[in-house]
């Protein structure tokens, strides 16, 4: 009896799986549509930070579609939620490529999930993977056929801007500390930071990693306070860093100088922290803040598609990525192929987006930006401290 039941179940499952038909068409492009796919943390611990990147990009695609599309095709952008779990991102990528037949994987956010997608695509090198918001060097080093990035990786951010921060500190720091979230690529960044500290005669007195979404930063801040370093490198998600700063406030201690990675240029960090970080924190920025005049185009598009979403760093980044994506699709021409898109990107030189520095790719360099913008905090608002910075060679 049980066996018959099992057989019945097997047959039912078969019927079910047969119903999910296999498509074999040319991936993601037809006469009036381009299908882009993405996997992003639309829910979960980093959703507030990451999801706006998707909305910013979608809003820009909507605007382009309203204006007639690209070469007569509308862009359809289908983003699956991965909840910031690498395994779900991997499953999403598999689904997008094998089931939904997307033309390219676009966007995404956060390191662990991007790394997972990257891994999946190693078996699908022809699928373009464009502009995830992730700071790991593996995206573009070594150059991978279909993978293009915009966000300078963490090591670049540190090399470009940490020396500047040290030189512009109120008092020359003698002791330094590193407090980083344990994400892929963190070891490279620790090494780079230690090297910069060493080059500037700073002794590292504290170096800890903590888990993503740690509920309470108190033990770290207590230890930091006991070591009392002059300068601290903070690497955390925007909300996580905000928690950390509020914990410092509660414990009545902060370093003379703080340096933050690009996440700390997000509003989700600064809003809760307010003016507490005034004058002592600087962070590496990539895209213009939404308050800048040149951001209005992106903000308007966002307002049209997502009236409830406040413009922030990540909507700006999504907008930037979408702008560049649209430009590349346009340059690839009416006869759109994956090869054509990759070629168009590789020939993009000094493309002016207005909301970032000029964007350039080449066949050997798939990293589009090559400078970071130094952000500071004044009266609880971000300010630009100076012109874009590049690492000293």
Q: Closest approach of Cβ 348 to another protein, in Å?
A: 30
Q: Beta-strand (E) ranges in the chain?
A: 29-30, 33-40, 74-81, 104-106, 129-130, 147-148, 175-181, 203-210, 231-235, 257-260, 281-285, 373-378, 381-384
Q: How far is the CB of 352 from another protein (least distance, A)?
A: 32
Residue 272 or 340 with smaller CB distance to another protein = 272
Distance CA 133, CA 114 (A): 8
Shortest spacing between CB 7 and another protein, in angstroms:
5
> CB of 357 within 8 A of CB of 284?
no
- The Cα 65–Cα 85 span in angstroms is 31
Between 205 and 343, name the residue whose CB sits nearer to another protein.
205
Which C-beta is closer to another protein: that of 226 or that of 304?
A: 226
Whole-number minimum distance, CB 266 to another protein, in Å? Answer: 13
- C-alpha span between 158 and 277 (Å, rounded): 19
220 vs 375 by CB, closer to another protein: 220
282 strand-pairing partners:
259, 376
Residue 48 or 292: the one with the smaller Cβ distance to another protein is: 48
**Helix (H/G/I), strand (E/B), else coil: 175:** strand
Q: How far is CA 280 from CA 248, 268, 303, in A?
A: 13, 18, 33
Q: How far is the CB of 230 from another protein (least distance, A)?
A: 18
Whole-angstrom Cα distance, residue 381 to residue 274? Answer: 8
Closest to another protein by CB, 42 vs 262, is 42
Nearest approach in angstroms of CB 47 to another protein is 6
């Amino acid at each position: 009896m049980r066996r018959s039941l099992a057989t019945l179940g097997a047959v039912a499952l078969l019927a079910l799986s047969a119903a999910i038909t296999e498509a074999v068409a040319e991936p993601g492009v037809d006469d009036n549509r381009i299908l882009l796919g993405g996997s992003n943390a639309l829910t979960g611990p980093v959703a507030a930070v990451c999801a706006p990147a998707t909305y910013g990009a979608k809003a820009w695609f909507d605007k382009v579609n309203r204006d007639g599309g690209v070469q007569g095709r509308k862009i359809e952008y289908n983003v699956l939620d991965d909840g910031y779990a690498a395994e779900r991102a991997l499953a999403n990528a598999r689904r997008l490529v094998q089931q939904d037949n997307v033309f390219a994987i676009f966007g995404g956010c956060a390191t662990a999930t991007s790394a997972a997608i990257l891994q999946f695509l190693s078996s699908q090198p022809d699928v373009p993977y464009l502009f995830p918001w992730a700071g790991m060097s593996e995206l573009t080093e070594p150059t991978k056929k279909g993978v293009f990035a915009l966000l300078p990786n963490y090591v670049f951010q540190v090399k470009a801007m940490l020396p500047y921060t040290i030189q512009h500190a109120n008092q020359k720091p003698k002791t330094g500390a590193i407090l980083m979230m344990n994400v892929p690529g963190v070891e490279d960044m620790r090494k780079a930071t230690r090297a910069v500290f060493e080059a500037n005669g700073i002794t590292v007195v504290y170096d800890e990693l903590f888990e993503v979404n740690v509920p309470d930063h108190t033990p770290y801040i207590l230890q930091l306070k006991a070591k009392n370093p002059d300068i601290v490198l903070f690497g955390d998600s925007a909300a996580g860093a905000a928690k950390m700063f509020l914990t410092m406030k509660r414990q009545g201690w902060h370093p003379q100088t703080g340096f933050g990675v690009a996440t700390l240029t997000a509003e989700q960090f600064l809003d809760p922290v307010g003016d507490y970080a005034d004058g002592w924190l600087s962070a590496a920025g990539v895209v213009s803040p939404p308050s800048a005049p040149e951001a209005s185009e992106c903000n308007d598009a966002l307002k049209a598609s997502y009236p409830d979403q406040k413009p922030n760093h990540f909507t700006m980044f999504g907008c930037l990525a979408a702008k560049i994506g649209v430009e590349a699709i346009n340059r690839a021409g009416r006869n759109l192929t994956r090869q054509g898109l990759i070629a168009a990107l590789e020939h993009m030189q000094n493309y002016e987006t207005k909301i970032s520095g000029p964007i350039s790719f080449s066949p050997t360099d798939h990293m589009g930006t090559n400078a970071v913008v130094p952000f500071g905090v004044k009266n609880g608002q971000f300010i630009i401290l100076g012109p874009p910075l590049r690492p000293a060679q």
